[in-house]
Chains A and B, each alone.
Chain A
Amino acid sequence: MTALFALPNPWSLYDTAGQAGVSRQKLGEAAVRVQAGGALFLAVPEGRRLTARGRKRGLEREGRAFPLPGGSYELRMVSVGTRPEESRFEVAGPDGVEGAVDLVGHLPRPGWTAGAEGGAPTERRAEALDRFILGTIERIRSADDPALADLPTHWARLEHAWSQPGLESPDPPMELIVRQAESMRALLAELAGHPRRILRRTREQMPLGRVQQLDTTCIRWLSRQPGRDVYERAGPRQRILAVARYETVDTLENRVLRAFAELSRSVARNYCRRYDALRHSARWRLVDRYAAECRRIAKDLREVGIGLPEPPVIPNFVLLQEPRYRRVWAAWRELLRRLDEQDEAWRWQHRLWADFCRLAVHVCLRHAPDVETVAEAPLRIAPEQMRGRWSLVDGQTGVFLAVRDGRRFVISLIGDMTVDHPKIEPWMCSLGAVSTLHVQALDNAAEAVVFVWPVHAAGSGRPALAEQVLSAGRALSCCLDQVELSGNRPRAGGIVLLSEVETDDHQQPFRDERSHVVGLSFGPGSAALPVAVERLPVGLLALIGRLTS
């Protein structure tokens, strides 16, 4: 059976140095210990049916297939676990378990299930990751910002939004829970004060004098009783089966109301905890108050005998048509969907960072003063994430004309490696880059490629940029050596883009002279991003100049 490899970094297939944090490891009978530093990939034979046991939607194919001595392989990214017990997973094929991975430094998502108060220990790093994910998504979605509608294309909007140094907002970000805290408070209080009541009908034995209504079942029952008239049939206790009506509030719509109040409370508490540093802002206080109100309302509803809805919840007429309950139903659904989205974003945060880097390279190039945009494919932002990915672009996102030291280069940015492109050769896919820049110098017609590797640490540790760059350099050299065996040695370099989850994560740019790999750390923060947008093209053009000289 062909071997499976666990790759702590996208390029690690060629890094056989044996360093636990960065080099490849072969899966076998014993569980493999991998540092939860960057994105975890598996190199698996193409088309092999594999699942990551213990992970929901665990594996996602990245890039196209490539040849290895053992056959045709492909890379699959492993999702990040949201729960504490997901630090270990098993890779299972149709014939059974083919290997297991133990993640060192696995971080569960803070408050990973709604309502499970204090279930998992929350850590400061996990909170920061949560903020980082939300910030990254917000940055990507600024391409659809109506405030920037006067800019002609989505790329232009991204460039504008990312290159302007913004001020640190005194308020925590506007999230769904804030909007709901503003819009739903009065409605919740009103509904909780007077929940909708119905008369529930049941059949029970009643004294003859109190019978008000009989239905066919009751009459059928009565006809089966012995006796000549009703009084005889009513027996010695003088009771017959009749319809009794009781008022009740335990209806589906009120159960949904209670579920909504409890979910809102939990989400609001999480929000307040996440942005605890901004507790003096009006927005934080609003959400905090809302959490307290929701808690009280949920308790009140529980006490009057309203239960929780049992899934699947199929909305009844009241939830769909009654104006007030319809709003509750819509808000509950929206909140659940948002939670699901956030869970999903956590699970695929590596793909999110890769998507961000894919856009960032394009934005940096079109922003650079020495670079002119010749053509760029239209960018679309998906309304919902696709396993962490938001951008919808063609394989090639742009063509740029760059000038450096009097030399002109045409840079073709191939943003999506999953799409066929004549300038992408199969061996390039084995390096796991998210984007590739194809460069042609106009003076000597020299061609080169530059790989873009996003690195994001979802675990508790912070990877060192220098170590990552050196590992990538080693892998690139090794790969080029192998390619050289079958022909010319291509000109290739790489750029490692390391995520800054917190401001403390910032590291100085690092350059590996030997292998043409440079590294840069940046994040979506309003301070770091504009600087990176200025700095990235400088490093990139210098690298291109060296590669094509």
Chain B
Amino acid sequence: MTGFLGIDLNGLVDGIVGLPGQTGASRGEIPSVVVLPLKHSRGPLTVVGGAEASRAIEGRGWEWPASACHGSSDQGLRIPVPEILEGLLRGTSVPTLHGEQEAADLAAAALAALETQSSCGMSGFTADPVLVVRDNGRFDEIVQQRLLDALARRRSTTTLLWRPVAALLGIEDKLAPIAAKLDGKRVGIVSVLADGIDVSVVSLERHADQLGAYLVPVRDRAGLHVPFDRSLMECAREVARRMLPDDPAGGWQVLWGNGLALQRLVGLPSRPQLIQRAGRWQLLDADAVADVPLPDLDGGGVAQARALLGGIRMLVMEGPAMEARGPDGRRLAHRVEDALALGRKVDYSGWRDSFTAATGAAVFAQRRASGRHTYFDFLPQIRISARVDGTPRFVALIPPDARVEGGSSYRPPPFDLGLTVRKGVERLEVYLAREGERQPRRAVIELAAPPDRDVRVRLDLEQRPAQGLARLTLIPEVDGEMPLVELDWQRMPPDPRSEAEIVQYLEQAGGKVPPLIPVQGHWGLWSAPLIQLLERLGARLGCPDQDLASCRGELNELALFLVRRLPVKSTAENGETSWRTCRLLSTEGALPTAGGTVPRAAELLGGVLEGLGSRLLDIDLSVPGLLRNAIVKVGSWTFTACPPPVREHLARCARRGEVVNAMLDFGAMGRVFTQPEEMAAFFRLVAAQRELKRHHIEASLSLLSLRYRAALAMESTDAERLAAGTLARLCEYRGVPHRRGHKKGSGVHRLPRSCMRLLAGLLRHRLRNPQFLVPGGGPLADRIGSELERIRCLDGADRRTRDLAAGVLDWMLERGGDIHILDQEQDDDLDEDAEAEAGE
């Protein structure tokens, strides 16, 4: 016999329905408990659930027999199902007589017990049982996975099904005659449960097969939960307290022992009101207890529910708590309807005795076996950190309109995100973000055998709706090049950073290339003389009578202010302190964000730059001269805030390959250019130099360390020529034989350091060409490698230079390293030079 089993474990009145033939066969009994055996040695705990458990003697709280003891204490034999369900949601354990038991494991044991009980221990039910789970946002994939793992440990193959879908499937017979009317319409489902109501909206689609037309629910959004101000369990506790005011143990008996309190509340015909107190039997008079008022719905939640239920064609109400009655005799279902005030006829087919949800779960299994559509579900979004066109970001793996049939898995063809595992890499770092999870998670995967060549990998995704977490696997494009790597969400530790912070981090240290070194502005440099200067200059520039040439002194003075640096101490969250350099303006041309603000600063500076810009229209900057130099200096040291005429002039120079003042203009270009074509022209110009001078090298380094797109804009040939030119200058370096009295910071080491920093900067070109300067990839890379190795061991080099060589080598070998390697300000003497340059 093929049977289909649907289980609704809700903790109030559990339902178990077997199809075919047992439609409506209820197994739900109050109280809903599981019962543990008195004696348990080891191995997985076997429990009794369902009707057998609620009738069992174990843990009743009586004085005899032995198994009936262990009642109301924390370490009992009789565990209320609501406690287990709460523990399952929280991932906690439940205290029992046999020690702490994982709530998920107890839930799985209870399900296994129900399954065995329903199948009479025979192989009667051949299909997998289906368990109804709540669709209120709390029973998320983590919880699902927790339960499914516990079930798998007990070799159970239970499938999970959303409650609103189950409710609709449970009344499919009733909906069949009006299927045509409901096609494409939205239907609201309100599940009245012990702790509140779950509200969901599901669309219906009409499908047909040889047996006729039928409706298929389409779930396209999650439901929401509206809590009661106090749960039905608390009301039942109140009933128990009224029955036995002075006796908590007796109260426990009427609550969880024989469930008198709940039976009375929910309106079930109660069993004999017999309890045992002090070893003697005693009959209770339950009718003498006044009725306890029923709970009310939370006001804010009701508004949300009403908004969700707008535009529905029909409302179905179901749930085990519908029939609870208060002192006024009104049923809880009607009170909920009044509270929602939808002004719409409600379908009450889901009265408790019909076990709609459990029936629907069995119908789901039946439909799945017969090849009919069951329901359609949306999938929660998953995003993975990946580099797209060289930019690290989180890539969404599930298309927004993806829907998948319940019970089947969603498995798109493996994603090609352009991921490559480099040769010799020993560990991978992956970040995942999921819908509904606040924090992304991070996995560092140790590769057992580092691949001996670059391996392109694809990402395989498999997800079953409502059946736990998605499975993500990294698979090599060519089989066997690398073992499969599975990304297990649950084993990945959460990362406290936000996604944006992670992306930023990946752009920097996590990448395969040295990160950019943007410089921030600081108000500390905005002194009173500067403000006065700005005021003065602004006034003069704003006055058309004033000749621009007469402003040259002030311009040079302003340039000195712009060049000035301020070391600032910063303390990270983990307590590490570091020093960073700040300037008047950030390298993005923006005013500072740190330190106390200076009023009118933006206005004054803006006025000066605007005035300068407007006065430049009638000045030819291609004519050499001190005024021109001053203008270029001021413009370029404002970085991207540079007045457009200056910038256009510099761009024109770069394109034409003619510079007016080589020392000044290259540096200015390195600070100002932001557009790819400008930068490409700049690099072409630099690469065309017969011999790279220091200003070429430092300007290139500046551009590469400031602008993300610089390395991408650079042509490969230019990059190679630049690298070759830099190498040629580096080869000249012999160091200084160590001798007493030699001045520290002598300019001897400066050029090689800049060369090495530029080589590190050129590694950023790997964002465009991943093979660029990869050791073993070409003679140039090998020559650079051996040269750096030479300097690393060079006696005549000072320690910092040797360390720098080692750092660049690390970056070349993709071992990561010093993330400040492109920061040329680390070379002390640069400051003086910049000031000298500004003062010229």
Residues on A close to B: CB < 8 A?
144-146, 148-150, 152-154, 157, 372-378, 381, 394-396, 398-399, 401, 408, 410, 412, 414, 420-423, 440, 442, 445
Contact = CB atoms under 8 A, between A and B. Distances in A.
A442 B275 CA distance: 12
Contacts of A394: 38, 57-58, 65, 67
Contacts of B281: 410, 440, 442
A440 to B, nearest CB: 6
Contact of B51 (A152, A395, A398): A152
12 contacts: A148-B120, A149-B124, A372-B271, A378-B35, A394-B57, A394-B67, A395-B65, A396-B67, A396-B68, A408-B283, A422-B64, A423-B65
A154 to B, nearest CB: 8
A235 B182 CA distance: 101
A219 to B, nearest CB: 46
Interface stretch (B20-28, B127-135, B234-242): B20-28
Contact of B55 (A149, A157, A376, A408): A376
Contacts of A146: 1, 119-120, 122, 124
B337 to A, nearest CB: 32
A394 B65 CA distance: 10
Contacts of A377: 56-58, 67
Contact of A421 (B21, B64, B258): B64
Given A410-B281, A422-B65, A378 B120 contact: no
Nearest to A375: B57
Contacts of B119: 146, 149
Nearest to B118: A149
B437 to A, nearest CB: 40
B827 interface: no
Contacts of B38: 394
B25 A150 contact: yes
Contacts of B280: 440, 445
B283 A442 contact: yes
Given A146-B119, A149-B18, A374-B258, A399 B64 contact: no
B52 interface: yes
Contacts of B48: 378
A152 B54 CA distance: 11
Nearest to A421: B65
Given A144-B121, A374-B274, A394-B57, A153 B52 contact: yes
Contacts of A422: 64-66
Nearest to A372: B272
Nearest to A396: B65
The listed residue with most B CB atoms (<10 A of its CB), out of A157, A373, A375, A421, is: A375
B579 to A, nearest CB: 73
Interface residues of B, number: 39
Interface in B34-88: 35, 38, 48, 50-53, 55-58, 60, 64-68
Given A376-B57, A422-B65, A150 B272 contact: no
A399 B283 contact: no
A381 B57 CA distance: 18
Interface in B95-129: 117-122, 124
B29 interface: yes
A442 B52 CA distance: 26
A366 to B, nearest CB: 10
A157 B281 CA distance: 28
A152 B50 CA distance: 8
B18 A150 contact: yes
Given A150-B18, A378-B48, A440-B280, A396 B274 contact: no
Interface in B265-292: 271-272, 274, 280-281, 283
Given A152-B29, A422-B65, A378 B52 contact: yes
Nearest to A157: B120
Contacts of A145: 120
B56 A376 contact: yes
Nearest to A409: B281
Contacts of A440: 280-281
Contacts of B117: 152-153
A412 B58 CA distance: 14
A277 B121 CA distance: 34
B178 to A, nearest CB: 30
A157 B18 CA distance: 16
A150 B355 CA distance: 14
B45 to A, nearest CB: 15
A352 B50 CA distance: 29
Contacts of B22: 149-150
A395 to B, nearest CB: 6
B112 to A, nearest CB: 14
A529 B536 CA distance: 117
Contacts of B18: 149-150
B69 to A, nearest CB: 10
A378 B126 CA distance: 24
A157 B117 CA distance: 11
B271 A374 contact: yes
A375 B56 contact: yes
Contact of A410 (B55, B57, B120, B274): B274
A155 to B, nearest CB: 9
A146 B64 CA distance: 34
Contact of A375 (B27, B50, B55, B120): B55
A405 B373 CA distance: 60
A299 to B, nearest CB: 38
Contacts of A372: 271-272
Contacts of B124: 146, 149
Contacts of B60: 375
A399 B67 CA distance: 13
Contact of A401 (B58, B121, B274): B274
